[in-house]
Amino acid sequence: MASAATSAGGWKERVPCKATPRRGPMKRVRYTKFTGDLASELGLEDLMEALSDYLLDSGFRSPLSQFQELDGDQSMDNLREALRQVLERGNVLDEMVQQKVDEMAADGSLDQLIDQIMERMEQENYISTSQQPGSGQAQDGPQTEARFEVTDKSMDFLGYKTLRDLLGSLGKASFGRHNTRDNSTGIEASGASRPYEFGDVLNLDVTATLASAIQREGIGLPLNMEQSDLHVHQCEYQSSCATVVMLDCSHSMILYGEDRFTPAKRVAMALSHLIRTQYPGDSLSLVLFHDSAEELPISQLPRVKVGPHYTNTREGLRVAHRILDRQRKDMKQIVMITDGKPSALTLPDGRIYKNAFGLDPLVVSETLEEVSRCKRSGIMINTFMLASDFGLVQFVQRVTAMCRGKAYFTTPENLGNYLLMDYMSRKMKTIH
């Protein structure tokens, strides 16, 4: 289409016009319900929390345990069966998702869902898988078995869950968070100011500094200031701490119809998470003691099971002492969790002397001598007793009297509350 326009000379010029485009039908977007695979809709954290009793199995066989038939063996077949039990139990998933799971179980497709969940757990680094030699012989060579291990990510998550149940959520903090009776100079002002001394953090109290100069010089310009006029803010001095958790893994920790070892493992994991998030300037090490003793990385804790029958407390203290000697912290402590009195001793030639029938004089004297060495090195020993055996109570009373530590008689259910609150409060008193 064109229109006519008159030019300066009177001529009419045809000017093209833009055609108006035709409007097509209005586009519509239809929203429908997401129908993706069910494995992607499930929350792995909820499943990991439901599997925690199986993943942290310590060798205790309880008739009330949901996973007692799996024997704590971390094979892929057992993990598949544990997931099946969790999904069929019906108290982990929401109602809509559980209905879908029930339908899949009815039509025989639940195994496919479980395989997808296991694959997702590996992809998101909750477990790591490997092939290990099996006990049988296959046609084409030695038989292998698919197994899995709990990763550091899973351990940190389970530690966080335990810590949340005990203390609630925690925020981050700066280095050195344990309150003391001393003051220092720093960034956070929480006390009165004082005159500056060499070596102080120069966090000036401007008001007090100017007031000192005016009092000395009088009001006038220029105002001459001297070093004696400088005042700095004070803040509470917060120290750092090196901690070694001595965990008794002798066989008595799962005897007498009670699992004392798994709750202790959970608390150690929660303490690790607490230190990493709330007290990053602190350090935490783990020592297992039984017939002997050895240091173990915290990341290996979920895989630990109870071992031999005897309790070599002295060797555990020696290993812990060596670890703390390498640390350069303001405070050093040993947290000992046990349910039995000392019953073993490592002799100078490496042989292990054992006596399970009472407080052997040789074992007790050598153990108390190691306690005395810890005291001379400034190491505090706090003991958490999971049994009320008279011999154990008598021994722990002597330990706390020697090193001014604390002794708690507690149960596996209350261990976390006692230990974590003690770690955070640092109360200087002995509890018998």
Question: In tens digits, what is the pLDDT along the chain, a chain of 432 residues?
Answer: 445 555 445 555 555 555 555 555 555 555 555 455 777 878 888 888 888 878 877 666 665 567 767 766 778 888 888 888 888 887 778 888 888 888 888 888 888 888 898 999 888 888 888 877 765 555 555 566 788 888 888 877 877 777 666 554 333 333 444 444 444 444 344 457 888 887 777 778 888 888 888 888 888 888 888 888 888 877 655 568 888 999 999 888 877 777 888 888 888 888 888 787 777 788 889 999 999 999 999 888 877 888 778 899 999 999 999 999 998 888 898 988 888 789 999 999 999 999 887 689 999 999 999 999 999 999 989 888 887 777 788 888 888 888 878 887 777 767 766 676 666 665 333 333
| The amino acid at 409 | F
Rg (CA), the chain: 33
Chain centroid offset of residue 148 CA: 21
- Residues 34-54: pLDDT tens digits? 455 777 878 888 888 888 878
Token pair for 269 = 């994991």
Q: Is the peptide bond before 63 cis (omega within 30 degrees of 0)?
A: no
Chain centroid offset of residue 248 CA: 19
Tell me the pLDDT of the chain averaged across its residues.
Answer: 77
Give me the residue label for tokens 């708690």: 408
Which DSSP letter does residue 176 get? -
Beta strands 141-150 and 231-239: pairing type? unpaired
* Burial class for 397, CB neighbours closer than 10 Å (0-12, 13-18, 19+): middle
Q: What is the torsional sign of CA 40, 46, 50, 56?
A: positive
Give me the residue label for tokens 């099971």: 305
Under the phi-then-psi rule, with left for phi > 0, alpha for psi from -120 to 50, and beta for the rest, what region is 388? alpha
Q: How far, CA to CA in Å, does 66 sit from each of 43, 85, 153, 274?
A: 21, 8, 24, 29
| The amino acid at 319 | V
Which DSSP letter does residue 79 get? H
Give me the residue label for tokens 């029938």: 357
The Cα–Cα gap between 255 and 416 comes to: 21
Under the phi-then-psi rule, with left for phi > 0, alpha for psi from -120 to 50, and beta for the rest, what region is 125? left
Measuring CA to CA, which residue among 247, 246, 250, 245 is closest to residue 59?
250
- Residues 336-365: pLDDT tens digits? 888 878 999 999 999 999 988 768 999 999
Token pair for 209 = 């500094």
The Cα–Cα gap between 47 and 154 comes to: 11
- Domains in the chain (CATH in brackets) are 38-130+144-150 (no CATH), 183-237 (no CATH), 240-425 (3.40.50.410)
Q: Is 162 helix (H, G, I), strand (E, B) or coil?
A: helix
User: Is the model's pTM score more than 0.75?
Assistant: no
Query: How high is the pLDDT of residue 427?
Result: 35
Q: Do 301 and 267 contact (CB within 8 A), yes or no?
A: no
